[in-house]
Structure 1
Amino acid sequence: MTTLRQRLFKTALLAATALTLATPVAAAAQAAWGPYNADFPAGGGGLSRPLAGKAEGDILPAGGPWSIHGWVQVSEAVSAPSLVAGLGDPEAGGRFLTVDGGAFGVWTGGQPLSVKAAIKPGDWRFVAAVSDGAKVTLYVDGASAGEAPVAAAATPAIIALAPRKVAGFSPFAGRIADFAAEGRALSESEIKTAAARKPDPLTVYESGSPNWPVQVRQMYGQVTPQEAWTRPKGKGAISAPVAKPAYAGPALVADGPDAWTLKRWSLVEAPKVAQDGAVVSTPTYDARAWYAATVPGTVLTTLVDRGVYPDPDYGLNNTAIPESLNKQAYWYRSSFETPASAAGKRLLLTFKGVNYAAEIWLNGEKLGELKGAFIRGQFDVTGKLKPGQNALAVKVSPPPHPGLAHEESLTAGVGENGGMMALDGPTFIASEGWDWIPSVRDRNTGLWQDVVLTASGEARLGDAHVVTTLPKADNSQADIEITAPVENLTGHPVQATVTAAFDGFNVSKTVTLAPGAGSVVLSPAEFPQLSVAHPKLWWPNGYGDPALHDLKLSVAVDGQASDQKTIRFGIRQITYDLSLMNPSGHLRRVEVDFSKARQLGQDITDGSHEGIRKVADGWATSLTAQGDASPAVRDADDASLTPYLVIKVNGVKIAARGGNWGTDDWRKRVDRTRLEPYFRLHKDAHLNIIRNWVGQNTEDAFFDLADEYGLLVLNDFWDSTQDYNLEAQDVPLFLANAADVISRYRNHPSIVLWFGRNEGVPQPILNEGLEKLVHDLDGTRWYTGSSNRVNLQNSGPYSYKEPQTYFTDHAKGFSVEVGTPSFPTLEAFEAAVPAPDRWPISDSWAYHDWHPTGNGATKSFLDAMTAKLGAPTSLEDFERKAQLLNYETHRAIFEGMNQELWTKSSGRLLWMTQPAWPSTMWQILSHDYDTHAAFYGTQKGAEIIHVQMSQPDHRLALVNNGLTPIIGASLRARVLGLDGKLLADRTSRIDAGANSTALGETLDLSGPLAQGAVVVRLDLTAADGAPLSSNLYWTAKDAEGERKLSAMSAQPVSLAAAAGKSGAETLVTVTLANTGSAPALNGKLTLVDAKGARILPAYYADNYVSLLPGERRTVEIRYPGEARAGAKVELRGWNVIPVAAKVR
């Protein structure tokens, strides 16, 4: 994400694709360039570079003499004209050799000169074109073959070999040897001499489709302690620590039959303990002086909860917490009694997540060790747990390379993204500090997930694998295959019966299990009940219900129940439209079905460094030879999105609109209660996909909630940014953690693919290991090494861009990261920053991620605000103006995608949607669940049925993300002056097919915009008159025109609110009416309690509402629990007279 790493990575890739240049003739003396040697598969890219002796941007003048010549070898029969090589830009006055079927030729932008020749694939032919400025002569094999008049135009001073994507020409496939150019007309004798020199068989050819490069440079983060004068300074005082009540419940809490969670823990710094684990884990050890620990949770969470340190979320409090927390180990300890029902059973102790390394002791005996934040530690404690009191002690160590903190300030700047901790992956590498999160003092060390005890009989179930496929095009049948790992814990064979039951279906299979691990497969071929008719499918948000099913899996030994599990799964099938390089060098646009490949036992794609190939518009994965011929790979209907990804669920193309989750919470407070409001808000914003960035959110609640709310997940592993971040040093450890994560979470329907690395491909040994794990342990999803560039768009931009540019310039194809500054609500900001540091912009702003430079470069945001709306004069004025920009930019990001859906765009994910802490950058909601204008701009642009206006050209469009066509809709467009005067009013009919965008008429705003700025209101109604969508734009001819918005008079808006019940929630119905004479823009509703504090979480159906004169609107607000006495709704806005109404 950093500008530096993008620049370094670009340099590396340019070096990897540089042309092979034999010793050139001195350009200044003879104006000769070359020779060049290159090989071009049909599916690869072309190559170009500035002419030697010329600078970038130099021009070859029109007219004048020139010559181009070289050896050409076509690799396959040619049926359409292709540009082979030449001087300049083929779309701006270039001079090129061509091949077309049985003819060689020369082309200078007009009618080509061509001559027939016997062209056979594999044969070398010498071709030249010589011009004296008035005519051009074509030579084939040294002999003149024809001439024609020529009038070459001026063109950039570059050599271009096999240029791609030129109108009227297909890609050249073959080799070019000894290609050269001169700024003079060669003589016939010189041509004959050149034609007599055959290509050297030892020539090394540069590829137009090189392999992906390995990492060649890296960054270490903060390498020396930060200079004191650059550290953040604030006027506000550091808060006093505030202790919270500690857990006071039972030590063991039952989670169902034969399962318990260890809830009561103590914690102490390891240097304070002189004894080893053999002593600390004895039941009689005295740990009463230890802290009552918060588990699951990190060390820092416990120390904040116990009042040792202040809340690091607030102001500069984090700077008062020492970095020493990440440079020492800690002891956790739990005392508990063995459940009576566990007597006589096999007992398993499972650590669901420990960061980073742990020694585990029970009753004086060492059980073992654990390493890596994402692997489960499982220990058989049969016979080791004693009747009565037991003691479990865990010595937890932080990552061994915690790095040094960079404290953001206006002086110090944003700093680097991460550093030394990247060596320690798998861990929370972001906790060293990123441009959206400060350094977490303990680096998330601790028992960050639950510790559970389970009991079973002599057979124990492992991680079952449930694979669902839809064999019929109409999705009327689902095939369910269940693989149940079963471990025979005895020393002899046993008869085991595995039973699977869901939705009223029940199948059983009896097998003989040898001692040790085994598995039982239940398939539709053996059990017809597992072919389910008319299944309830899992769909992403907006496309249908995310239906989930509970599979009850059990095993019995000799008729006696031994173990059971409940596995929740969704019936759905993922396929992918991709452009993949096949073994013959062609880029095939195909639909790939990995589930079918799994059934066939085939490995169909190659994501290795050698398998990733450069293509015309980026990079693409390859098909294996097996994949190229596989029925799991079929040609796609439409190649217009080449080479970009399209995700399909249940056969339906999904317009992927979503956002990145950097870290759910920077202190890993990730219980379901805390996380669920974030997921609900994402659903309410009409998003359907999120990304588990660098795997920092890998926990049960994250995937459970993604399943429930219909949010697809792009799932990363724990490696970041090639040619910038360090690479993991312990590959076996990384792969062991990855294997456990895949096995643990593969049944979640929300997971749509696996990324090996954020922005780059892992080192070869790791990349190939991950690809193999996904193939072997999952087999139903695509693994790709990089989160960008490979069949995806490059990352960014991240700073402010004009809204219209999201329609024309940015985030084409499938873009995984695109962002813009996104300041929170006034209330959320005030809740995070002490009053003395709120205005003017201070170090506290920078510490909370408002960086004038760097990726987000808020200077561009502030410059745009000043140019369009006037320089901010106070925090309140800044926030009011920021929300206007927030709304229009976030809406434009998704409307730009809508405008070219399925032609140039298939997915856009915001960087980012989820706040890790009280951040002022990028997110569309706040850490305390508040939602600012960016949220509602996103919600509007991502509507299921949506009416919009293209920002650059004012063309109207109907976006239908539904699966039913819209016929006979009416689209009304009104244009009003800022004074409320109606300037235009048009209604037109518009239809839209299912899952498509229909373009309508273009509004002519040239007249209205002569007054500077106008308001455009769009209303879409169905054929029966039912409202479908509305949208409102403030638009201006330029920045000066937009400043007229600041002169709008404040409008009176009446406000009323009434409360009622809606299930377990309170429903507040708010009615607004603009009683003024002009539009009222960006009306912000805030629900508060009797003390004036915001009620959060609260779910607003709409907000930042804009009303035309006389317009009335109803907005529903829901919040959990009973109605709050004395609650009221407050309203403010761009030009709204502030008002409040009691909730009746």
Structure 2
Amino acid sequence: MKHTMTVAALAAMMWSGAQAGDQWGPYNAEFPAASDGLVKKVKQADIFASAVAGRVQPFALSGWFKPSEPAPGRTLIAGVAGAQAGPGWFVCSVDGAFGFCGYGLEVVSPLKLAPNAWVHLAASYDGRRVTLYANGSAIARQDAVLKAEGFTPAPIKESAQAAPVDDFAPRISMGPRSKAATGYAGRIAGFTVTATALDEGAVRAMAATQPNDALINFESGSPSWPIQVRQMYGQVAPQDPWTLPKSGSPFQEPKAKPAYSGPALVQKDANLWTIKSWKLQAAPEVSAKPEHISSTGFDAAGWYQTTTPGTVLTTLVDRGVYPDPDYGLNNMAIPESLNKQDYWYRTSFQPPAAFKQGQRLFVTFKGVNYEAEVWINGRKLGGMKGAFVRGTFDISPYLKLKGDNVIAVRVSPPPHPGLPQEESIAAGAGENGGTLAQDGPTFIASEGWDWIPSVRDRNTGLWQDVELHATRDFKLGDAQVITALPKADNSVADVSIEVPVSNLSKSAQRVTVRATISRRDGSMKPIQVSKTVGLAPGEHSVRFTPADFAALKLKNPKLWWPNGYGAPDLHELKLEAMQGTQLSDQASTRFGVRAVTYELSLVDQGGHLRRVEADFTKGRELGVRITDGRHQAIKKLSDNNWATGLRPEAEWTAAIRPLEETTLSPFLVIKVNGVRIAARGGNWGTEDWRKRIDRERLEPYFRLHRDANVNIIRNWVGQNTEESFFELADEYGLMVMNDFWASTQDYNLEPQDVNLFMENARDVVKRYRNHPSVIMWFGRNEGVPQPVLNEALEAMIYQLDGTRWYSGSSNRVNLQNSGPYNYQTPTSYFTEHAKGFSVEVGTPSFPTIEAIKAAVPSTDQWPLTDTVTYHDWHPDGNGSVKTFNAAMAAGYGAPDSLADFERKAQLLNYESHRAIFEGMNAGLWRQHSGRMLWMTQPAWPSTMWQILSHDYDTHGAFYGVKSAAEPVHVQMNLPDYQLMVINNPAAALNGATLSYAAYDVQGKLLASGDKPVAVAAVSTSEPIDAGIGALVAQHKLIVLKLALKDADGKLLSQNAYWPSSTLAGQQGLNQLATVPLELSTRWTGAAARGERQLEVTMRNGGEVPALSGKLTLFNADGERILPVYFSDNYVALMPGESRTVSVTFKSQGAVRLDLRGWNVAPQSLRIGAQ
């Protein structure tokens, strides 16, 4: 058999791309330094199928190569990779010299590869030796017999689950990247693999014609971000009736709540009033014309008094038209017709007493979903569109100074509401959203997602406040406050203020703009600056900078810090526009003195990945944009990572600081006030599925998040974009990643009206840019918006904000990919999942039995039925509970009742949620910089993806997170059982002691000891071997208690584990004897805000460990007290150990405290009034 290819055959095939039976290629490719490799699957089952006795038959690798820069060390360039892209045979570079590499063999030639010059290289193997050719001449030879190992396909079984042949076949591999080899940078032309050896004549013919770069389309190893090529549009026909969820109980009867009966106007500030009283009616029920509806003579007596702010559905539920959709399957009793009709809102009011002749009066709608037509006193004012844009109208020309004025608003729902998918065991979780996504700035999740059912009115209505605002000729706009910390010790803060001022008159006038900075608690002397300017009619900007006003250089300022790193201090800014001696307008805003910078890996113009710290505030000062988020500038890297571009104008400016440490590349690291923040938190799909967003309702959720020690949340797809959300995030130290209203690329529909989208987006940025909690902007959930929208958003963010990073995608670009969302083993969160900065990782999170009983009829509670499935207990999809149920059955035994299921679920909840963040801790600043749960906030009474319940109850997941995310933390790593201390604060931990004690299930102490610990600031200790792994191996199951104390003996952190050598070994926990904990209480006096505080001490007087001791608080009538704030819960107590827990709540009179647990004897304790 002849094993050489003829010159004529090669010449005919070199550039044609024709495939011979014994040739693969040619391939053309280019690889920037920041790149991924390219892999081509071979159609034939095995290039080396003719291997005999394990020996590789003759073959050759050849092509043109043009390095763009020298390749240090051993660099694979192009070749054949083994099965599943394993090692193979390659043209390579060894210390800059052309060579042949693979399977322990290196043949190196004397030829040094010159940058930016084409060279033809070939490596030919004839069965006895390897010959290297350069530009058609042989330059090196080495005798060798190559083995076929790695190229022999694994046996393929004939079954539906067998891997396809392609998974075992070799690949053509070009420019491979791995941690063990430097990546090739440069171009490859005509790379070919032949299943025959090449003689010198054949190689000389191939090298005769140098490639013409201009005529070749090179495939890039670093492609740009793709555009959307497919999409899903939800239900296209009504769901089959037999798949609809079914309940053993009827729908509840509607129950009306007392309606608002207060005054129409409630004063908010000297020149600001909220319109509180509105009436509502469906437009088809109203035959009158708008001119009549908006006049005083119209009779609206039969209309519904609204709950405002609030949606149509909220009003109809509150007025007793429909049952509470939070409960059971009540949502199925509410018709879809609510999202297919318009509505009229109507109010009447008299001018405020403080309103003076000569003033102007504006009405502002702070949020209407989706479109509104506004009328006053029979005259049309105009319209607004999009749920997130404010509509402001001058009503002065139509205002009656005496008597009633009538405002009527016709509100239209989004035009593409889609069809609902009702989750059931038969139907499954269904799709996420549908046609509503194309409407852009609205509540796209209200069509239904895998964490809420369809909201029947699609959140239509006046969902935010409506205000009246009085001014004279000068009107203030949305001021921007920018803070910078120019000194490393943060001893000085520069505050810059830009104030939009509109001259509403028809002539130029002078105005004095006064800005006063203070703190609400009076802890600083107010700082006041002012400027008098002449302004022509129209809008202008008045600027106050530290360069012009020395007072704006704040000395030793109180800073805003994320939760766990310091107090989230806030400052007040009051603005006044003085027209002579008269106050024309005034406004106020809050801001935090803080500086946010970002450690990022960015792709520069030369294709190199540069690790930098980006300061967008400095970039704004210098007038340069730092990042380039266009599709063509976002580049693919190795390991399926992506990085955004670095703009050339920023490359050598003070806006970026080069970093030598690249361990976390390309992932994001957030720094606040110069300190690296270990970002631990979660996503908010929406704060409430019916947009009940008053501060009183939302604040407990934020307080609980703070108490869980998380420091970052995400405004997913912008569904939480309202003032109360950002104000509370500011106050509780929760950083916010803020999305706009586009969802998953290649899945959800893209917004169709870009101008509408941008109008809403611009208003959102101007409105919320002063909130220190907002630390970055995302254009889209899980993907980059279409180019026209993405580029408009990026440019707008620079123009209207300029101090924060905008990234088109919430994942993958300098971030980790999303998921997983179903139950995974705790070990996997240490070893494989959510590396880098992960914005979404989730696991089922079943609530307390009390929360389930409050949301699900007794007939549907056990076994888990359609009703529980409707409340998101997914039988399939991303959050399939199959792995959760399997882990429970294997580890604890199959449950036999709801109480048994819930008891076992809480142990899984605690362990899995703790592991998610302890897995991050174990690799903090080496592998990980951020990890966020999907989700932390439930939008309704859910059983999935949450750390607390919609009714404020807190279950095992909450306390698992609270433990793992605490500022100073002691933990056991998996799978090696090493101990570690995490020190998040910006102060070193010295002289600490880590104590451990291990028990068996009979309570026998197996081992104990102390380890000295010292940990640098914002860092972790080295792993500490205390022999835990050996104990687990020997005893199969142990209970481990850890405690960390400082140099003075103060307890800093404690933790408990119950590791077993196998999952089935967890069933040994069922052998733990029941322990009757000793329970004692005492009142500790009144807490803040009218709350009471109870101190509860639990003591384990038994002989075995007591696990998952759970306290629940009830009032004297047996109703749960919610919200209630426990300093700890689901506690584990070793024999003889005590734990004191503080319980803070608002409730009068006597209370009842219940205790239960894994092996804790249930008990109730009645506690008299304080």
Offset of residue 1140 of structure 1: 1.6
The percentage of counterpart residues that share the same residue type is 56
- 8 Å contact kept, 1:93–1:152: no
1:374 maps onto 2:388 in alignment? yes
Q: Which amino acid counterpart does residue 1109 of structure 2 have in structure 1?
A: G
| CA distance in structure 2 between the aligned counterparts of 1:479 and 1:57, rounded to whole angstroms | 68
Partner of 1:981: 1004
| CA distance in structure 1 between the aligned counterparts of 2:77 and 2:609, rounded to whole angstroms | 19
Note closer, same or farther for the CA distance 1:660–1:341 as it changes in structure 2 (3 Å cut): same
**1:46 equivalent among 10, 30, 37:** 37
Partner of 1:438: 453
Q: Which amino acid counterpart does residue 334 of structure 1 have in structure 2?
A: T
Query: Normalising by the residue count of structure 2, what TM-score does the alignment of the two structures yield?
Result: 0.94
Partner of 1:1137: 1161
Look up the SS of the partner of 1:862 in the other structure.
Answer: helix
Offset of residue 62 of structure 1: 5.9
Partner of 1:220: 233
1:180 maps onto 2:192 in alignment? yes
- 8 Å contact kept, 1:133–1:152: no
Which is worse superposed, 362-371 or 184-193?
184-193
1:535 maps onto 2:531 in alignment? no
Q: Per-residue CA shift, 1:239-282, capped at 9, x if unaligned?
A: 00000000010010000101100011100010011112111000
| CA distance in structure 1 between the aligned counterparts of 2:126 and 2:688, rounded to whole angstroms | 70
1:107 maps onto 2:129 in alignment? no
| CA distance in structure 2 between the aligned counterparts of 1:884 and 1:21, rounded to whole angstroms | 64
**1:585 equivalent among 607, 621, 624:** 607
Note closer, same or farther for the CA distance 1:1079–1:483 as it changes in structure 2 (3 Å cut): same
1:460 maps onto 2:475 in alignment? yes
Query: Normalising by the residue count of structure 1, what TM-score does the alignment of the two structures yield?
Result: 0.96
Partner of 2:1069: 1045
Partner of 1:16: none
Offset of residue 132 of structure 1: 3.5
Offset of residue 1093 of structure 1: 1.3
The within-5 A match list for 1:685-834 is 685-834=708-857
| CA distance in structure 2 between the aligned counterparts of 1:38 and 1:1106, rounded to whole angstroms | 59
Q: Which amino acid counterpart does residue 113 of structure 1 have in structure 2?
A: V
1:1107 maps onto 2:1133 in alignment? yes
Note closer, same or farther for the CA distance 1:23–1:1017 as it changes in structure 2 (3 Å cut): farther
| CA distance in structure 1 between the aligned counterparts of 2:417 and 2:335, rounded to whole angstroms | 13
Note closer, same or farther for the CA distance 1:506–1:588 as it changes in structure 2 (3 Å cut): same
| CA distance in structure 1 between the aligned counterparts of 2:107 and 2:271, rounded to whole angstroms | 83
Q: Which amino acid counterpart does residue 41 of structure 1 have in structure 2?
A: P
| CA distance in structure 2 between the aligned counterparts of 1:1004 and 1:662, rounded to whole angstroms | 40
Offset of residue 628 of structure 1: 1.7
Q: Unaligned 5+ residue runs, structure 2?
A: 1-12, 152-169, 519-525
Q: Per-residue CA shift, 1:1092-1126, capped at 9, x if unaligned?
A: 21110000100000100111110001013xx5323
Offset of residue 801 of structure 1: 0.2
Partner of 1:128: 122
| CA distance in structure 1 between the aligned counterparts of 2:850 and 2:477, rounded to whole angstroms | 48
| CA distance in structure 1 between the aligned counterparts of 2:15 and 2:664, rounded to whole angstroms | 37
The within-5 A match list for 1:618-657 is 618-657=641-680
**1:256 equivalent among 246, 263, 269:** 269
1:415 maps onto 2:430 in alignment? yes
Offset of residue 22 of structure 1: 7.6
| CA distance in structure 2 between the aligned counterparts of 1:460 and 1:176, rounded to whole angstroms | 63
The within-5 A match list for 1:368-517 is 368-387=382-401, 388-503=403-518, 504-517=526-539
Look up the SS of the partner of 1:923 in the other structure.
Answer: coil
Partner of 1:76: 69
- 8 Å contact kept, 1:494–1:558: no
The within-5 A match list for 1:309-324 is 309-324=322-337
| CA distance in structure 2 between the aligned counterparts of 1:532 and 1:44, rounded to whole angstroms | 45
Q: Per-residue CA shift, 1:64-117, capped at 9, x if unaligned?
A: 433211111011244444221111159954211122455211111436322232
Partner of 1:246: 259
| CA distance in structure 2 between the aligned counterparts of 1:965 and 1:66, rounded to whole angstroms | 60
Look up the SS of the partner of 1:974 in the other structure.
Answer: strand
Give me the CA root mean square deviation: 1.8
**1:1090 equivalent among 1116, 1132, 1136:** 1116
- 8 Å contact kept, 1:971–1:1020: yes
Offset of residue 853 of structure 1: 0.5
Q: Which amino acid counterpart does residue 127 of structure 1 have in structure 2?
A: L
Q: Which amino acid counterpart does residue 674 of structure 2 have in structure 1?
A: G
Partner of 2:968: 945
Look up the SS of the partner of 2:416 in the other structure.
Answer: coil
Look up the SS of the partner of 2:736 in the other structure.
Answer: strand
Partner of 1:8: none
| CA distance in structure 2 between the aligned counterparts of 1:133 and 1:1052, rounded to whole angstroms | 78
Offset of residue 385 of structure 1: 1.6
Aligned length: 1120
Note closer, same or farther for the CA distance 1:622–1:512 as it changes in structure 2 (3 Å cut): same
| CA distance in structure 2 between the aligned counterparts of 1:254 and 1:974, rounded to whole angstroms | 61
| CA distance in structure 1 between the aligned counterparts of 2:625 and 2:968, rounded to whole angstroms | 39
Look up the SS of the partner of 1:1035 in the other structure.
Answer: coil
Partner of 2:81: 88
**1:519 equivalent among 527, 530, 541:** 541
Q: Per-residue CA shift, 1:325-353, capped at 9, x if unaligned?
A: 00000000001111122122111110000
- 8 Å contact kept, 1:1056–1:1142: no
Q: Which amino acid counterpart does residue 48 of structure 1 have in structure 2?
A: V
- 8 Å contact kept, 1:580–1:621: yes
Offset of residue 958 of structure 1: 0.5
Look up the SS of the partner of 1:422 in the other structure.
Answer: helix
Partner of 1:679: 702
- 8 Å contact kept, 1:59–1:155: no
Q: Per-residue CA shift, 1:612-643, capped at 9, x if unaligned?
A: 11111311100111122222012124111111
Partner of 2:159: none
**1:301 equivalent among 314, 331, 334:** 314
**1:1061 equivalent among 1081, 1086, 1095:** 1086
Offset of residue 749 of structure 1: 0.3
Look up the SS of the partner of 1:1109 in the other structure.
Answer: coil
Q: Per-residue CA shift, 1:976-1011, capped at 9, x if unaligned?
A: 101111111121111110001112322343344433
Partner of 2:597: 575
Note closer, same or farther for the CA distance 1:1096–1:956 as it changes in structure 2 (3 Å cut): same
Note closer, same or farther for the CA distance 1:333–1:1006 as it changes in structure 2 (3 Å cut): same
- 8 Å contact kept, 1:62–1:155: no
1:281 maps onto 2:294 in alignment? yes
| CA distance in structure 1 between the aligned counterparts of 2:767 and 2:335, rounded to whole angstroms | 35
Look up the SS of the partner of 2:1059 in the other structure.
Answer: strand
**2:59 equivalent among 53, 66, 76:** 66
Q: Unaligned 5+ residue runs, structure 1?
A: 1-19
Q: Which amino acid counterpart does residue 509 of structure 1 have in structure 2?
A: K
Look up the SS of the partner of 1:370 in the other structure.
Answer: strand
1:148 maps onto 2:139 in alignment? no
Partner of 2:154: none
| CA distance in structure 2 between the aligned counterparts of 1:320 and 1:178, rounded to whole angstroms | 66
Partner of 2:217: 204
| CA distance in structure 2 between the aligned counterparts of 1:349 and 1:79, rounded to whole angstroms | 67
Note closer, same or farther for the CA distance 1:997–1:59 as it changes in structure 2 (3 Å cut): farther
